[in-house]
Amino acid sequence: MSQVPASMYRISLNDPPDSSNLYLHRFASVRTLTESLVAPLGAEDQCVQSMPDASPAKWHLAHTTWFFETVVLMVHARGYEPYDPRYHYLFNSYYEALGPRHPRPQRGLLTRPTVQEVLAYRRHVDEAMERLFEQSGQAERLNFEALAELGLHHEQQHQELILTDIKHAFSCNPLLPTYVPAGPLAVKNAPPLGWADYAGGIVPTGHTGDGFAFDNEGPRHLVVLTPYRLASRLTTCGEYCDFIDDGGYRRPEFWLSDGWAMVQAQGWTAPLYWANDDGHWQIFTLNGTQPLKRDEPVVHVSFYEAAAYAAWAGKRLPTEFEWEAAAIDVPVAGNVLDPARPHPKPASADGKITQFYGDTWEWTRSSYDPYPGYKPLAGAVAEYNGKFMCGQMVLRGGSCVTPPDHIRPTYRNFFPPSARWQFSGIRLAEDA
Amino acid sequence: MSQVPASMYRISLNDPPDSSNLYLHRFASVRTLTESLVAPLGAEDQCVQSMPDASPAKWHLAHTTWFFETVVLMVHARGYEPYDPRYHYLFNSYYEALGPRHPRPQRGLLTRPTVQEVLAYRRHVDEAMERLFEQSGQAERLNFEALAELGLHHEQQHQELILTDIKHAFSCNPLLPTYVPAGPLAVKNAPPLGWADYAGGIVPTGHTGDGFAFDNEGPRHLVVLTPYRLASRLTTCGEYCDFIDDGGYRRPEFWLSDGWAMVQAQGWTAPLYWANDDGHWQIFTLNGTQPLKRDEPVVHVSFYEAAAYAAWAGKRLPTEFEWEAAAIDVPVAGNVLDPARPHPKPASADGKITQFYGDTWEWTRSSYDPYPGYKPLAGAVAEYNGKFMCGQMVLRGGSCVTPPDHIRPTYRNFFPPSARWQFSGIRLAEDA
Amino acid sequence: MSQVPASMYRISLNDPPDSSNLYLHRFASVRTLTESLVAPLGAEDQCVQSMPDASPAKWHLAHTTWFFETVVLMVHARGYEPYDPRYHYLFNSYYEALGPRHPRPQRGLLTRPTVQEVLAYRRHVDEAMERLFEQSGQAERLNFEALAELGLHHEQQHQELILTDIKHAFSCNPLLPTYVPAGPLAVKNAPPLGWADYAGGIVPTGHTGDGFAFDNEGPRHLVVLTPYRLASRLTTCGEYCDFIDDGGYRRPEFWLSDGWAMVQAQGWTAPLYWANDDGHWQIFTLNGTQPLKRDEPVVHVSFYEAAAYAAWAGKRLPTEFEWEAAAIDVPVAGNVLDPARPHPKPASADGKITQFYGDTWEWTRSSYDPYPGYKPLAGAVAEYNGKFMCGQMVLRGGSCVTPPDHIRPTYRNFFPPSARWQFSGIRLAEDA
Amino acid sequence: MSQVPASMYRISLNDPPDSSNLYLHRFASVRTLTESLVAPLGAEDQCVQSMPDASPAKWHLAHTTWFFETVVLMVHARGYEPYDPRYHYLFNSYYEALGPRHPRPQRGLLTRPTVQEVLAYRRHVDEAMERLFEQSGQAERLNFEALAELGLHHEQQHQELILTDIKHAFSCNPLLPTYVPAGPLAVKNAPPLGWADYAGGIVPTGHTGDGFAFDNEGPRHLVVLTPYRLASRLTTCGEYCDFIDDGGYRRPEFWLSDGWAMVQAQGWTAPLYWANDDGHWQIFTLNGTQPLKRDEPVVHVSFYEAAAYAAWAGKRLPTEFEWEAAAIDVPVAGNVLDPARPHPKPASADGKITQFYGDTWEWTRSSYDPYPGYKPLAGAVAEYNGKFMCGQMVLRGGSCVTPPDHIRPTYRNFFPPSARWQFSGIRLAEDA
């Protein structure tokens, strides 16, 4: 931590250095959005932790702040004193190199610091970041700009988690609270499922060029793809209902061995947040409980369920390389984070392959392995991605709770194959 | 529930019926005390559940209210409508006869209803109780008076739990919050340990006469006691330190088999809330962390630890019958609930046997079995005590967080032998 | 261990000292019976451990031998060398004072020593015991006679366990092996349930007089009993079926809280070893699977089930004191261990209260607490009984796998309330 | 199962059909070897199951027989009756399509059928297989030859497991039994670690040509490899000791996140079967416990440990594609199964890259994903490989307990990253 991690620069080396103003403008924007996401929540809502994988909203508010304090201010802001030295223990997530930390499953026990105290902590660090940028010359800024940039993207990841985690917490409350009331909504019909053909070949994969990317998106390298097809849109709730009605959760022939064991152990009979009310499916959403709409994309399925659905459909899931090769030229736009309606929407019927970005993360048939030549960043942020490269599956494309400027074709999200509380869905593939 | 449980009347049959005014005066007093106990807590503090055995303060506020609503108002207040029918599910503790209920380990997930909503629920039920008493004639009151009385004693039990539970929750927070700041305090010296002799004989045990008692305190019956001695005061922290220093937690010869297994599995090396700071014990209290005071009674020990300490000391624990026979003529007074200082104090040096009431609950060497002829109450409250009569040990005498008018010589508290988060301590005994 | 535990003498002090010949005659008889019990078992059968509470037959063979070696020979036989020093670790059961030991749940992993090697170990110790007795004068024998006697009763306890444990192991094998084939059997009808009245009063309890008893059967002391009645025979399978058919396992109102939790967690719907075959109950026995016979005593129920059955029947279980006061004058005889038919039989219709001894152990409504004035034995055998006096319930009367001369009115057996693999049944009681 | 799974033929389509004699010769050879592997074991040894991942030797004997019976005889041998219909339930391993089966963790409870009964079952099936081949014409044999061939390779996999599983079981016995006594042995010095360079490029991967292969070894396809280097031999015990001595098991910076969690949870401080005896490592082997030899390959490490060692060494593990491209032209020979000495040996100092085959399976940095275009076999054997393609890592090259003719360059073994009881070791790689 005492040295500038030079290797960070590859993540932004081609960028013209942000002027202070540009950075601080984006900094303010990201930090403000985070706080707006917790505005509908009371103090108790912000403290609750409904399972070890999730974190309290308040903890997200503090941890993202701790990241700037620890990675940028403590190292690069001359004379900076930690706001409260005990926060270093409380709000470290998983960085072994940064010392011992509060056990993850006990984050919900932190009734103190209160929400108000955490917001004061945020103010303190905001001001210190502003001072640091304003008081540093361009040469000095080179020492911490990449880390400060990483801090913004890090906070955006936690913006998404704030919503996935409170959704899970609310779903555990029999009162089924609403995050924001549903506005009037006309749900379109999804178009029929079509297929897009891709020729494959020897194609490049991984990040290149300007702009930020995480270390796990590179190095850019070649992969061999045989001809393949991708479904023109995400799998819908209606299609998934057909799988359920055909005994999908009772027939082992569709399932991976670990997946079938999970179905048995957990008693899964439908995606997370589905409840069968006398033969009619009700879906719990951040806008409250709603009747299932057959045209909406199915979401909150595990990799196991996605793979079983594909097997039932006689198809398969795409590899992350197939997905990227197809998505690389598609404009990065879609149903991404809108705090007023954080839910997937039916695909557009515009005749094109669609929904690459937003709506739901798409499980791929690719284990989360390092790319050839991958090396973790140096310094404390070495643990950011690399140490998780085992036992997880890659998801691509972002979801309806991913901040708009936080997604790109090379983005590799990853979760264990059993995870369901993320906005994860299904796009089918097949050999051409 | 549709009938008046006539058998309840034996708990107060000899009392002159409370006039409405008298009852309502006590009702207001108990209800107000409960709310004053949560006054030092923020909304987050009131929502947290630090282990399955503990409950959030907010849940205690609501559950005690649910008890009056369900057991009194729903049955006896003509035309009473439940405040929120969903609360019936949320705030039932363990009454199987009253239908399904929210799982106990998930009480901390109830961020809604909020503290304010729970307080509004309390107001609603308070007013309905007042109306019921004011509008009922004396004959009518006979139908519900015993249940309303039970509701008060039930709420007092939860007053104690509010403090034991928040103490546990705060202890899990590395910031170690203080419930109320410690005032200036001169800690006396405890007198030397003396012994009081009791002749034993064939003696009556169990509640009799006027005044409220729980069903498990009767029927009154005879027991045979051989001559015995009781320690003149509770075991002190200093004495317990000698046990620790003599290898108490490393020497299996002092321990019951289950206790030794617990020591190994949990890594116990001292009572709950003790922390060894470089050779000096620090004790976490509701007044914050304080250096161990050798003259204060040791508290937050399990039955296993109490029994091991007694074995080390060459003594034993008293049976609940020995305790009651000795305590029956001692005035019911002592260091009971004082919200400003909820902690045991050293014994007085007045030459008498002391500390029977208050300071710490005293583990007895008696399993919690039913008294001869015991039958549970009829109706919903049948589950109040009887179904727990297996696998628990009896404690006697109340503690420093027991409300003053909530303790009596025949009171039988009970907890599993491994429980440590109650204010439980040790009084030695021996055969005479 | 280096001193003679003088306190042991109270268990046999009033006996005329066994002559060597008398002791050795009984020693040979007990040791031979043990080996005859494993005769129907193959090497694999003798090695298996089907759950942590059970032990392999081979382990029982070795452990009982280790007991004599450790408690008698190592201390009292001049120049005795341990047969294999490693056995001290392998075959210690739970004596902390005797050093570390093989973990209980891993006894089934001991494929070595083989059955043949264990039998050789038995021969070696048998011969050393014979030499010790033959070469010691009467004065010398006083030093170890009580311990040698304890060894015999200890081995008899394990004879019973050999059968309960292999029954459990066989029940886990879908082939449902038979321990010994069933002979021809005419099952009598049980007589109608009658009641015997007892006046109670102030009565002595606990062992007295000549003959062996375990330390937990004393000291003899007085208890107060109010008038009561005991059922004239054990509860039958037919009566228990009525409980099941009336929803006994689905209605929480009959159950202790811990018992109901166990029913839910374990999915209990009938006693252990019952299987419902298309509406007809089949019972697995050591003589193979047989159709349920309504007149046979129900067996393999937990304390929770016994208590729930009693609550359903509007009765209760007797206390151990009530049982002993009733049984004290009944001849000690009944359906005890017959290796050819280890199963309970219907009661005799002789008009008397019956089945006190043999058939099934009878759960009492008494927690296993120490008697007033109880002190464990000195020396290594201090851990024999006392350290288990918490969390268990007392059973009385012996079963159909208890060796004939191993039961008496004051015998206190004890198991956790959830245990079902022992031959445990039900006798009802009520207040007179 | 009622149809011939035509797709099986691709596994042997290019082979000249075995004449009956040739097949039966190999059949007899494989079956005989299996039984010779259990010859050093007693009946108890063959029944024990030391953990859910392992199986009793007797179960392996029966399961491999069940495979021939179920997959070949029941479908293709006219009039064949199952030897014992209950064995279908007992000895199915994981084939959901073949009905319910005995729970895996309870295989050790099957004391019956006895070893003798299982051997009789083997004889019965052996004879039926012989009859089937002898009585079938070449055209008929086409219907089952591929399945019969699969049965041989299946049995060879279980030959390896018989040794890995009994090694684990013996290691749990404090007596540390020896499978076969160690003969006289001169351990060579391992040569210094060298590096072999590989150019990479676009290279084919996967099985082709004549000879048997499992379905997961295809389809053959192209992969892109950048230039790389492989270590000239396996990592030695001595090198691994240096990692341990440098704090390898105490420094999180070398570990994958899941691996570090495992180190903490399991208390790992060395490979499986290593014991530190007063500063000197002792290694438990099938030839008994032996002092660590620094020149022998390290074995019984998990993927996590292999990856951590590589990180500590500043290297990485090879991908399975890099391994295969390097091994494809190396003669398939090495220190494979020799029942008299089932242990890795030091590498030869012949100046070449060595130890590709035999000694230890080599963990690769490749998750066990399907190859492009992979489809499971049809019929019952569809579950053979495909359903495990999630959450496991690929190992290559066979070990010292792999039958000699059971390994080839395209063979993909797979185990969870935490598995240690297989003979798994480390070969380092790096980018060129």
Sole residue written with tokens 């004599």: C68
The continuous run of DSSP H or E covering D243 comes out as: helix D237-245
Contacts of A119 in chain B (CB under 8 A): none
pLDDT > 70? residue D19: no
Output the pLDDT for position A15.
46
Q: Do chains B and D touch (3 or more CB pairs under 8 A)?
A: no
Output the pLDDT for position C110.
97
Name the DSSP class of C387.
Answer: G
Single-letter amino acid code for the residue at B5: P
Kindly report, residue by residue over D80-110, the tens digit of the pLDDT: 999 999 999 999 999 999 999 999 999 999 9
Could you tell me the pLDDT band of residue C209, with boundaries at 50, 70 and 90? confident
CB-based contact D175 C44, cutoff 8 Å: no
Output the pLDDT for position D358.
97
pTM score above 0.90: yes
Kindly report, residue by residue over C380-419, the tens digit of the pLDDT: 889 999 999 999 999 999 999 999 999 999 999 999 999 9
Output the pLDDT for position C222.
98
Output the pLDDT for position A210.
80
Output the pLDDT for position B118.
98
Could you tell me the pLDDT band of residue A247, with boundaries at 50, 70 and 90? very high
Contacts of A223 in chain D (CB under 8 A): 224
Portion of chain D with pLDDT greater than 70, in percent: 96
Output the pLDDT for position D285.
98
Output the pLDDT for position B187.
74
Contacts of A42 in chain B (CB under 8 A): 43, 111-112, 114
> What are B331's two structure tokens?
């005035």
Chain A nearest-CA distance from D121, in A, is 29
Output the pLDDT for position C262.
98
- Chain B residue at shortest CA distance from C314: B375
CB-based contact A48 B109, cutoff 8 Å: yes
Chain B nearest-CA distance from A52, in A, is 13
Of C226, C370, C373, the CB nearest to B372: C226
Higher local confidence (pLDDT), B185 or C293 = C293
CB-based contact D382 A253, cutoff 8 Å: yes
CB-based contact D365 A370, cutoff 8 Å: yes
Residues facing residue A362 across a β-bridge: A396, A425
pLDDT > 90? residue A86: yes
Higher local confidence (pLDDT), C97 or D349 = C97
Contacts of C252 in chain B (CB under 8 A): 96-97
The Cα–Cα gap between C307 and C262 comes to: 13
Kindly report, residue by residue over C214-259, the tens digit of the pLDDT: 999 999 999 999 999 999 999 999 999 999 999 999 999 999 999 9
Output the pLDDT for position A1.
27
Output the pLDDT for position B380.
81
Kindly report, residue by residue over C327-347, the tens digit of the pLDDT: 999 999 999 999 999 999 999
Mean pLDDT of chain D, nearest integer: 93
Kindly report, residue by residue over D23-76, the tens digit of the pLDDT: 999 999 999 999 999 999 999 999 999 999 999 999 999 999 999 999 999 999
Q: What's the whole-number mean pLDDT along residues A122-134?
A: 97
Output the pLDDT for position A378.
83
Kindly report, residue by residue over A19-63, the tens digit of the pLDDT: 678 999 999 999 999 999 999 999 999 999 999 999 999 999 999
Of D42, D43, D112, the CB nearest to C175: D112
CB-based contact D89 C174, cutoff 8 Å: yes
The Cα–Cα gap between B39 and B59 comes to: 15
CB-based contact B382 C202, cutoff 8 Å: no
Residue B301 burial (C-beta neighbours within 10 Å; 0-12, 13-18, 19+): buried
Q: Do chains A and C touch (3 or more CB pairs under 8 A)?
A: no
Output the pLDDT for position B15.
47
Kindly report, residue by residue over B383-401, the tens digit of the pLDDT: 999 999 999 999 999 999 9
Pairs from B199-203 (Cβ < 8 Å, separation ≥ 24): B199/B227, B200/B224, B200/B225, B200/B226, B200/B227, B200/B228, B200/B322, B200/B325, B200/B432, B201/B225, B202/C202, B202/C224, B203/B321, B203/B325
Query: CB contacts < 8 Å between A and D, how many?
Result: 90
Mutate to test the interface with C, among D111, D166, D167, D171 (most CBs of C within 10 A): D111
Output the pLDDT for position B19.
66
Higher local confidence (pLDDT), A308 or C15 = A308
CB-based contact B303 C390, cutoff 8 Å: yes
pLDDT > 80? residue B310: yes
Higher local confidence (pLDDT), B353 or C167 = C167
CB-based contact C391 B387, cutoff 8 Å: no
Higher local confidence (pLDDT), D211 or D428 = D428
Q: Is the dihedral of CA C98, C101, C104, C108 positive or negative?
A: negative
**What residues of chain C have any CB closer than 8 angstroms to a CB in chain B?**
94, 96-97, 202, 221-226, 252-253, 255-260, 303-304, 307, 319, 365-370, 372-373, 382-383, 387-391, 393, 417, 431
Q: Do chains C and D touch (3 or more CB pairs under 8 A)?
A: yes
Kindly report, residue by residue over B131-184, the tens digit of the pLDDT: 999 999 999 999 999 999 999 999 999 999 999 999 999 999 999 999 999 887
Contacts of A86 in chain B (CB under 8 A): 174-175
Chain B nearest-CA distance from A299, in A, is 23
The Cα–Cα gap between C362 and C355 comes to: 10
The Cα–Cα gap between B243 and B331 comes to: 32
Could you tell me the pLDDT band of residue C2, with boundaries at 50, 70 and 90? very low
CB-based contact A387 D431, cutoff 8 Å: no
Output the pLDDT for position A21.
86
Q: What's the whole-number mean pLDDT along residues C52-72?
A: 98
Q: What's the whole-number mean pLDDT along residues A186-198?
A: 91
Could you tell me the pLDDT band of residue A377, with boundaries at 50, 70 and 90? confident
Contacts of C417 in chain B (CB under 8 A): 390-391
**What residues of chain A have any CB closer than 8 angstroms to a CB in chain B?**
42-48, 50, 58, 86, 89-90, 102, 106, 108-115, 169-170, 172-175, 177
Mean pLDDT check: name the lowest of B133-142, B410-419, D184-193, D242-251.
D184-193
Contacts of D306 in chain A (CB under 8 A): none
CB-based contact C114 D42, cutoff 8 Å: yes
Mean pLDDT of chain A, nearest integer: 93
Portion of chain B with pLDDT greater than 70, in percent: 96
The Cα–Cα gap between A39 and D64 comes to: 63
pLDDT > 70? residue B325: yes
ipTM, two decimals:
0.94
Contacts of C307 in chain B (CB under 8 A): 390
Kindly report, residue by residue over B83-112, the tens digit of the pLDDT: 999 999 999 999 999 989 999 999 999 999
Chain C nearest-CA distance from D371, in A, is 40
Single-letter amino acid code for the residue at A42: G
Output the pLDDT for position C4.
29
Output the pLDDT for position C19.
66
**What residues of chain A have any CB closer than 8 angstroms to a CB in chain D?**
94, 96-97, 202, 221-226, 252-253, 255-260, 303-304, 307, 319, 365-370, 372-373, 382-383, 387-391, 393, 417, 431
Q: Do chains B and A touch (3 or more CB pairs under 8 A)?
A: yes
CB-based contact C111 D169, cutoff 8 Å: yes
Chain A nearest-CA distance from D370, in A, is 9
Mutate to test the interface with D, among C49, C107, C109, C173 (most CBs of D within 10 A): C109
Chain A nearest-CA distance from B75, in A, is 25
Output the pLDDT for position C64.
98
Contacts of A58 in chain B (CB under 8 A): 44
Name the DSSP class of A72.
Answer: I
Could you tell me the pLDDT band of residue C13, with boundaries at 50, 70 and 90? very low
Chain A nearest-CA distance from B218, in A, is 39
CB-based contact D173 C109, cutoff 8 Å: yes
Confirm if B248 and B312 have CB atoms less than 8 A apart: yes
Mean pLDDT of chain B, nearest integer: 93
pLDDT > 70? residue C365: yes
Could you tell me the pLDDT band of residue A115, with boundaries at 50, 70 and 90? very high
Q: What's the whole-number mean pLDDT along residues A355-376?
A: 97
The Cα–Cα gap between C36 and C31 comes to: 9
Which chains are adjacent to chain D, needing at least 3 Cβ pairs under 8 Å? A, C
Kindly report, residue by residue over D366-382, the tens digit of the pLDDT: 999 999 999 988 888 89
Mean pLDDT check: name the lowest of C172-176, D173-177, D361-365, D376-380.
D376-380
Higher local confidence (pLDDT), B352 or A50 = A50
Chain B nearest-CA distance from C221, in A, is 9
